[in-house]
Structure 1
Amino acid sequence: MHYSNCTAGTFLSRPNRFVAQVALDGRTETCHVKNTGRCRELLIPGCRVYLTRSDNPARKTKYDLIAVEKETVHGPLLINMDAQAPNHVFEAWAREGRFRPGLTLLRPETVYGASRFDFYWETDTDRGFVEVKGVTLEEDGVARFPDAPTLRGVKHLEELIAARQAGYQAALCFIVQFSGAKYVTPNDTTHPQFGQALRRAAAAGVEVFALGCAVTPDTLTAEEFVPVRL
């Protein structure tokens, strides 16, 4: 994932989940936030954020907020918080042949049952569905998902189980949107139902894995696998 026209600013406030006020070059700019999650531990007044400028003159906002520097005991940690980026990262990674050898089809946004999965894939011998989840919540080097209750996420897991029982392959891929994560684990404190559903899915044969990323202000690139602890 690569962004153009990237620039740094200072976060001021978030009037609602769609926009943020950012200090940029001596003025206050209203920016679109490319993540409708809470992100309370990330968007703290005074923190450094990164924006990408749109070339669309019809837009109400000129900039998208895509990344933030989070202060940790080890220093600033750059976190990509673009909710659309994980799907792009997974698709690029899969098309490089790193997901399934002999991939003949990778189709985004495919309906199965009552869900629309992020990807449907085929090889000469198998076929299956993949749901991708971006992880931005970091606690002492551990990546936790979700950062807020997600009934939609639970529904996706239940549909992945149903697809697996119907003979499809099924997988859930966590894309960790910061570097150096020790492992990924369900956030049982915030949403125990998601953790329970994830463990049921793994027990039912749904593949659960996570990819760490290299993060710069204007790029997000899949790198190594990160352990998943259920």
Structure 2
Amino acid sequence: MKYNNIKIAKFINRKNRFISEIEIDNKIELCHVKNTGRCKELLIKGVDIFVQENNNINRKTKYSLICVKKGNILVNIDSQIPNYVAKEAIESGIVKEIKDITTIKQEVKYKNSRFDMYFETNKGKKGFIEIKGVTLEDNGIVKFPDAPSERAIKHINELIEAKKEGYEVYILFVIQLKNVKHFEPNKETHYKFYETLKYARDKGVHILAYDCFVSYDEIILKDNVDVIID
């Protein structure tokens, strides 16, 4: 996935979940934060960020925050992008565990949830994929979620139900950075999520994690990452 109209800026502060102040071209501007997670370890005053300039005069903000520099690492924090990146990768065969796909549909309703993807294969299998973007990293270990997420638990429980009905079901954690050691559920932040993910694994839900190549204007799904659920 390629972005256009990207500019470098400095992060100043986060006014609320959706809006931050940035310094760009020697001016203070408002910027849309495309991630409602906490991102406290990323959004630090003075850090280099990359923003997308918008020319839509109807928008309240001229810029959208796309990427953050964390030391020598670039972290994409655009929460809208993992679904596109995952679909691109599945269709091109990068995700080896999900293969022989003939049909992919996005945002498909199942019972009380709406899963990110529904798929069919040339072998007659049908299934659902739920995508979760991951930006929280600590010494090479990446975790999800960075804030309690009852919505994520609801999705996992619905995947378990779909599995019982014969669907192939996957959770794909899209790690929005490169060069990580492994993925694990963030039990310190949301223990119930950890328990639910562990239960889902034991019930046959496939749990995958892939990292991404990230540059200031691009993100591409790359390599399988070990999932550790103790």
Q: TM-score range by the shorter chain?
A: over 0.9
Distance 1:137 1:38 in 2: 9
Matched residues, percent identical?
42
Q: TM-score, normalised by structure 1?
A: 0.96
Partner SS state of residue 170, structure 2: strand
Give matches, 1:86-125, under 5 Å: 86-99=82-95, 100-124=98-122, 125=124
Distance 1:121 1:97 in 2: 14
2:90/2:99 contact within 8 Å kept = no
1:96 Cα deviation after fit: 0.7
Give 2:209's aligned residue: 210
Figure out how many residues of one structure are paired with residues of the other and give that number. Answer: 226
Q: TM-score, normalised by structure 2?
A: 0.96
Gaps of 5+ in 1: none
Deviation per residue, 1:23-52 (Å, 9 max, x gap): 001000101000011111110001001001
Partner SS state of residue 8, structure 1: strand
Give matches, 1:16-165, under 5 Å: 16-71=16-71, 76-99=72-95, 100-124=98-122, 125-165=124-164
Partner SS state of residue 163, structure 1: helix
1:60 Cα deviation after fit: 1.2
1:110 Cα deviation after fit: 0.4
Distance 1:101 1:42 in 2: 35
Distance 1:38 1:5 in 2: 26
Distance 1:226 1:116 in 2: 26
Distance 1:164 1:92 in 2: 24
Q: CA RMSD in A?
A: 0.9
2:73/2:177 contact within 8 Å kept = yes
2:94/2:222 contact within 8 Å kept = no
Distance 2:197 2:104 in 1: 24
Distance 1:101 1:9 in 2: 40
Amino acid at match of 2:131: V
Deviation per residue, 1:30-83 (Å, 9 max, x gap): 010000111111100010010011132211111100110113xxxx21100000
1:102 Cα deviation after fit: 2.5
Partner SS state of residue 16, structure 1: coil
Give 1:198's aligned residue: 197
Distance 1:101 1:216 in 2: 27
Distance 1:224 1:70 in 2: 21
Distance 2:94 2:130 in 1: 16
Partner SS state of residue 93, structure 2: helix
Distance 1:122 1:200 in 2: 25
